[in-house]
Structure 1
């Protein structure tokens, strides 16, 4: 085990390169998935039926196809369309499309959890649709969406390891390179130590995301409770 620690220390620069690629891939994917999820999740609740049907079709197709198949299709299929993609953008696109589909379903459920009477009242007051979403529906849906969306973000971070299959030198790939190098050059197989370290790092990153989401959820809960209590205090 001590040899495993020394091996990790010796290859720290390669592991840092892989971790940086993983975090960058996760950041790009999280931003893109959030934009897609909020946009499509909102469109899934509009009155136009044909818009809802298109969004539902996109969501079902992307959720029913295995993620690795989506990534392979983009990476190997893009050259046939005259748009060859490097491994990193291909994986980022595949993860973003998949994450956006799942995010859209979460956002749709959060918006629909808001009582219909509030939308009807806002419409009766003459508010435009975008103001209803911005001022009434989205703020209230946030608390319902946050726990499930945090789970999706953690899953996206974990799924960045699929980039190793198409040549992205992310954290898992870096660990694999260390194992191959040690096996060939030194005649040892430190797979257990290296992959245990990779597991701990992924666990740490996802745990931080979960802790931050729970803290934000508690803050939103206290804010909502304060808003609810204010009218009662005023009426008294």
Structure 2
């Protein structure tokens, strides 16, 4: 552990870069998923078709291939992105494609009579989505989307393959430097710390997901009190 403490500032900078990539990716993916996920349920076939092509394209491409193409192949077309933007863009495209399907599936899981009742009340389309459909669809969206969030956080380690000084990359540099200078290989200790940190971060998101599930489901079935029973 002395090695970790001596290099803590450097390792922490890599962790900060990992969290930065994760934050940018999650914000962009969530925004795109929310907007296009809703549009994927409208009646316009052209809009649904374009969104379908987008989701199928980026879901079918392995994530690492997506990142490599953006970083190594786009310069051939005159588009040179720095490693941070290349990784963030690759994760965002893949994450949003999967997020769109999660949002679309959650919206379509709402019972048909909810839509008909909202139309009968004279609500506008955006009011139906905002006040009726989206709140109910969150019960189906939250668990699946949290799983996607943990995958995106774990996938930030792909930045090490294109030169981003993120958490895994800094850990690898510490291992290589220690091996060369001291003749010992601290891979077990360093990678153990990396594993533990990723476990803690992803566990926090899992706990938040379960908490939100409980809160959303708590309003689903409310017990009838004796007073309400007598009044009815």
Instruction: Report the TM range for the smaller structure's normalisation.
Output: over 0.9
Alignment of 1:167-182 (within 5 A): 167-182=163-178
Question: What's 2:204 paired with?
Answer: 208
Cα offset, 1:82, TM superposition: 3.2
Q: CA deviation at 1:229?
A: 5.5
Q: Counterpart of 2:111?
A: 115
User: Which secondary structure does the structure 2 equivalent of 1:224 belong to?
Assistant: coil
Matched residue of 1:168: which SS?
Answer: coil
Q: Distance in 1 between matches of 2:179 and 2:21?
A: 29
Establish whether residue 19 from structure 1 lines up as the match of residue 15 from structure 2.
yes
Distance in 2 between the 1:195 and 1:229 partners?
53
TM-score for both structures, normalised by structure 2: 0.94
Which residue in 2 is equivalent to 1:58? 54
Query: Which residue of 1 is the match for residue 228 of structure 2?
Result: 233
Give the superposition deviation at 1:224: 3.0
CA distance in 2, matches of 1:133, 1:91: 33
Unpaired runs of at least 5, structure 2: none
Which segment is superposed worse, 77-86 or 88-97? Answer: 77-86
Distance change (3 Å), C-alpha of 1:108 and 1:233: farther
Would you say 1:129 and 2:117 are equivalent positions?
Answer: no
**Equivalent pairs, count:** 230
2:153 and 2:169 map into 1 onto residues whose CA distance is: 14
